[in-house]
Amino acid sequence: MSQSSLSATATLEAGRQARAGQRGLWSSRWVFFLAATGSAVGLGNIWKFPYITGENGGGAFVLMYLGCILLIGIPLLMAEVMIGRRGRHNPAGSMAALAREAGASRHWRTLGWVAGLTGFLILSFYSVIAGWALAYVPALFGGQFTGITPQASEARFGAMLAEPGMLVLYGTLILTATLAIVGLGVRRGLEQSLRFMMPGLFVLLLGLVAYSAVSGGFLRAVEFLFVPDFSKLTATSVLVALGHAFFTLSLASGAMMTYGSYLPEGTSIARTALMVAVADTTVALLAGLAIFPLVFGNGLEPGSGPGLLFVTLPIAFGQMPLGMLVGGLFFVMLVIAALTSTISLLEPAIAWLTERYRTTRIKATLGCGAVLWVLSLGSVFSFNLWSEHTLFGRTFFDLLDKLTTNWLMPLGGLGIVLFVGWALNERLVREAMAMRSPVMFRVWWWLIRLVTPLCIVAVFLNLVGLL
Ligand code: PFF
């Protein structure tokens, strides 16, 4: 290396260390693991995975989803954390920093903006659904579901959706909690509660699976989830599986890059990312195993859509001993799991505003909050006042959901893997990943360079009928 490039490298390194010092880091690898798992595990696993599995015919869809997690999700998760840790900025800033280091175009940072925007849009509807979960907490503790029939449970859910005022109220509570946690930086308390909540949610889910296992419908559920029937798979369901792999691992939406930017040096990115993905996938499968026996056991429709969780679980809680208490606790935990995701959805935008425009954290949070609240109204009204107003046959909520999950995330993710695999150079990436095993690095490197982008492209080609 020449003298000048040596000193340029030294300057970059010094800048990185200074930024790491200023920005604050996770106190340990364990805390990062909890925060990243908190981001990944949420409504996506417990609410969305079961209902889209139901809508897309079960086993074959689940297999596609698992394939996408393995070949695309996990390699990309590692790449995003690496970008954040090396760049030590908000997503756009980190991508710009890495591009500079590799002598690539600065325009790659546009992908960082797109990711941040994707997260922001997701948050606007995610907070509304988290509001549904919050609304179920007092209803369960208050015993409203005791002995409820499947029909009554469906009717109760429908009645909740018909009341925009309540939905706005609960969605606003979720947004306010998110803004408060992110704006005031009071994450420490949350980190502490995560230590209990994550295992708690896990244990409750296991209990629910055990309950479902003996309540009839279990075998049909296992068959539905794990025996693939490829005749039910359409090109669109493959895209949905791909999109959901991104959604559930919080990819291409700025969250993991931003969390990676607070990760101390010396932590194994690969091992931690793998642990996050395993935890996330396990929770999704458990949620499926808890919900589908109830669906089949009670003669409900697997493809009934976003209400699936909210209709089925209360039936079980209404029947089991101490069900109201267990059910209330379950929804409390679901709300907390959702909050640990919402804060990660907001953080990239706040990091960008404070770093790029030097606004204070509080001002940035209030500004984002106002825009998010207005956007969230669109999602609330999609279930009542505006349910008849559609574009391309979709409500506002549906459009935002499909736009972010099926389009912005996979295409943004494609951009990110191309950036890492082709715009950066191998030496830089190897150094930034700091993997202990050279063989594992090779495997990951070729997944990122070839397998991951080709798989994403294949899904889109398949969609337009070219494959
Ligand atoms: N992974 C979260 C879930 O499954 O609920 C949702 C999510 C969080 C998506 C953060 C994107 C994100 F950046």
Closest by Cα among 136, 148, 131, 152 to 338: 131
Q: Domain residues of the chain, as ranges? A: 24-463
178 Cα: distance to centroid of ligand 1 (angstroms): 14
CA distances to 1, 35, 41, 398 from 16, in Å: 20, 22, 30, 41
Model pLDDT, residue 161: 97
Question: CA triplet 118, 185, 347: central angle to 5 degrees?
Answer: 10
Mean pLDDT of the chain: 92
pTM of the model: 0.94
pLDDT average, residue stretch 280-308: 94
Most confidently modeled range among 141-145, 216-220, 463-467: 141-145
Which residues pair with residue 394 across a beta bridge?
A: 391
CA distances to 12, 22, 107 from 355, in Å: 18, 11, 18
pLDDT average, residue stretch 171-178: 96
127 Cα: distance to centroid of ligand 1 (angstroms): 11
Model pLDDT, residue 19: 63
DSSP codes of every residue in 20-38: HHHH---SSHHHHHHHHHH
| Nearest Cα residue to atom 7 of ligand 1 | 250
| Nearest Cα residue to atom 12 of ligand 1 | 250
Task: Tell me how far apart the alpha carbons of residues 203 and 250 are, in angstroms, rounded to a whole number.
Answer: 23
Band (181; pLDDT cuts 50, 70, 90): confident
DSSP codes of every residue in 326-341: HHHHHHHHHHHHHHHH
Task: Tell me how far apart the alpha carbons of residues 368 and 351 are, in angstroms, rounded to a whole number.
Answer: 12
8 Å CB contact between 406 and 239: yes
Task: Look up residue 6 and give its two tokens.
Answer: 């040596």
Q: Give the residue, out of 49, 65, 126, 406, with the most ligand 1 atoms within 8 A of its beta carbon, to mutate for a pocket test.
A: 126
Model pLDDT, residue 1: 45
5 Cα: distance to centroid of ligand 1 (angstroms): 40
CB of 344 closer than 6 A to ligand 1? yes
CB of 272 closer than 6 A to ligand 1? no
249 Cα: distance to centroid of ligand 1 (angstroms): 6
Rg (CA), the chain: 22
Task: Tell me how far apart the alpha carbons of residues 447 and 69 are, in angstroms, rounded to a whole number.
Answer: 12
| Nearest Cα residue to atom 10 of ligand 1 | 250
Fold entry, domain 24-463: Amino acid/polyamine transporter I (1.20.1740)
Which residues pair with residue 391 across a beta bridge?
A: 394
DSSP-based helix, strand, coil % in the chain, nearest 5: 80, 0, 20
Question: CA triplet 8, 12, 18: central angle to 5 degrees?
Answer: 145
Task: Tell me how far apart the alpha carbons of residues 95 and 97 are, in angstroms, rounded to a whole number.
Answer: 5
Q: Which residue has the higher pLDDT, 187 or 77?
A: 77
37 Cα: distance to centroid of ligand 1 (angstroms): 10
CB of 253 closer than 6 A to ligand 1? yes
184 Cα: distance to centroid of ligand 1 (angstroms): 21
Q: Give the residue, out of 117, 123, 344, with the most ligand 1 atoms within 8 A of its beta carbon, to mutate for a pocket test.
A: 344
The predicted-structure confidence for 436-462, as pLDDT tens digits, reads as follows: 999 999 999 999 999 999 999 999 999
8 Å CB contact between 338 and 126: yes
| Nearest Cα residue to atom 9 of ligand 1 | 250
Task: Tell me how far apart the alpha carbons of residues 449 and 428 are, in angstroms, rounded to a whole number.
Answer: 14
CB of 256 closer than 6 A to ligand 1? no
